[in-house]
Amino acid sequence: MEIGPTSYLRVDGASIVDGSGTPVRLQGHCLGGWMNMENFITGYPASETLLRRALLKAMGPEAYEAFFDQFLADFFSEPDAAYLADLGTNAMRIPINYRHFESDEQPKVLIEAGLKQLDRAVDTLAGHGIYSIIDLHAVPGFQNHHWHSDNPTHWPLFWEYADFKARASWLWDVLADHYKGNGWIAGFNLLNEPADEEGDRLIAWYSETARRVRDIDPDRMLFLDGNKYSTDFSMFTEPLPNTVYTAHDYVMAGLDPHGHYPGKLDGRYPGSAKGDVNNKDTIHEQFLRRTAFMRDLGLPIWIGEFGPLYNGTPQQAEERYQLLEDQLDIYRDYQASWALWLYKDIGLQGVVFAATDSPYVVLLKDFLAKKERLGADSWGGTDEHIRDVVDPLESLLGREFPTFNPYPWGAQKWAARLLRHILISEALIPEFAERFRGVSPTEARELAASFRWESCTRRTGLEETLRLELAKG
């Protein structure tokens, strides 16, 4: 592993600065879908663990290992880093899943291969002058209710069991020791989008884990997400030293895949319906709400995730670029650092994506259409084609349980998670895996190579929006 600059980035008042005291505004992407896979990024249903289990059964161990070895090698490599540097990027947030570093069968026994993969990304980025923020995106027991913490259920059990919390802290011990002295690590993002209904358990875990990291590496900068999926800082009080608090800033007008919200807004940006509030003023107000803790205490602001979807019409894509430009304007006004979600996928949100004629996308074409029709993905999916099932369920809940309001987003989202994102998604897993049955190791590598940078398509409108913004510094 190459060692980076001898000086670390650190917090100085409301700024992040380098060793000479010069402010550094971190601007870049999130490498979602690589060391923590997500269903909408690469097209599978449900959670990564269920996907891997099904593929191993369908492909057999040799082809399975060939696919994932090639996938990890090609999803992010030297040409990706060179491209990002050419755009003007200076930071990459790297989501990781604990399963690359330990197993549930052998907890707290380090898997060296995971560390080598992470080293490769950090060193490759450093070679192009790009900082890394290591983001623990999935922990034992699951810190939130969703697929992106590799949760096959709808319960964040991380908060209920001391062993889960201890294992996550142990992993940060390992990473702190391993990367001690490497200044190309901008910092450690201790936990992605926590959802602790009580709140005090999150604060306690943050405090203990920060103490352990600083016992090993006293000067390492930390990044702490707010509660309720990094939107709620109400339980935070005195800030920890040398710590950046991070908000996630998704705007609803940029997320509906077909540009409409039945019975609500029309989904256009800026809004065109009477009473529609999709405009720069309202996204500014959301930013101010979500960053009040940082601004009130004079701390740096980092937007750890944000970004619209691009799977609508060409006109809608142009509107989404305008939304993105407006967000970036706001962040620049407040000198907020940011990490855009997402760098690479199969076409929903990434600045580059696997080509429509690539072996992987061709193999899954009809399956992806079915998954979209059934609304199996929480991110980018819609229930418009299964309202005959959803309407009676929502009516039942409203009629029989009018006060049912589960944390964090209420009954409607709770029902969607159970019906679409668990039941329907799990039913789709065998069908997805069957596409890979009989694939040879050579064919498996060819499928995974669909994510190689040279084989991907660049989203030119998004690329130019980012290039222009990054040129402003």
Q: How many CB atoms lie within 10 A of CB 161?
A: 12
- Residue type at 188 in one-letter notation: F
What is the Cα–Cα distance from 143 to 160, expressed in whole angstroms? Answer: 10
Cβ neighbours, 10 Å, residue 220? 24
How far apart (Å, rounded) are the C-alpha atoms in residues 267 and 272?
Answer: 9
CATH number, domain with residue 88: 3.20.20.80
Q: Are 93 and 133 in contact (CB under 8 A)?
A: yes
Q: Which helix (H) or strand (E) holds 345?
A: strand 344-345
Distance in angstroms (rounded) separating the CA atoms of residues 227 and 144: 10
Q: Which domain does 377 fall in, by range?
A: 10-471
Q: Is residue 178 part of a domain?
A: yes
Alpha carbon 45 to its chain centroid, in Å, reads 16
Assess if residue 2 is contained within a domain.
Answer: no
What single letter denotes the amino acid at residue 369? A
Per annotation, catalytic residue among 38, 48, 193, 469: 193
Active site residue 454: no
**pTM for the structure as a whole:** 0.96
Which of 38, 48, 102, 305 is catalytic? The answer is 305
Q: Is position 426 annotated as part of the catalytic site? A: no
Give one DSSP letter per residue of 291-305, joined into a string.
Answer: THHHHHTT--EEEEE
Specify the pLDDT at position 5. Answer: 56
Largest CA distance in the chain: 63
Q: Is residue 35 part of a domain?
A: yes
| Torsion sign across C-alpha atoms 356, 361, 363, 366 | negative
**Partners of 93 in beta bridges:** 30, 133
Is 191 within 8 Å of 225 (Cβ atoms)?
A: yes
**Sign of the C-alpha dihedral, residues 155, 38, 207, 141?**
positive
Provide the pLDDT for residue 416: 96
How confident is the model at residue 272, as a pLDDT? 64
Predicted confidence at residue 111, as pLDDT, reads: 98
The domain tally of the chain equals 1
Token readout for 358 is 């690539």
Q: What is the pLDDT of residue 473?
A: 82
User: pLDDT at position 265, please?
Assistant: 44
Does residue 394 form part of some domain?
A: yes
Is the distance from CB of 451 to CB of 31 less than 8 angstroms? no
Give the tokens for residue 283.
Answer: 């996204």
Low-confidence ranges of the chain (pLDDT < 50): 1-3, 259-265
Give the C-alpha separation, 226 to 245, whole Å.
7
Chain segment 376-435, per-residue pLDDT in tens: 999 999 999 999 999 999 999 999 999 999 999 999 999 999 999 999 999 999 999 999
Confidence (pLDDT) at 133: 98
Beta-strand relationship, 337-340 and 27-30: parallel
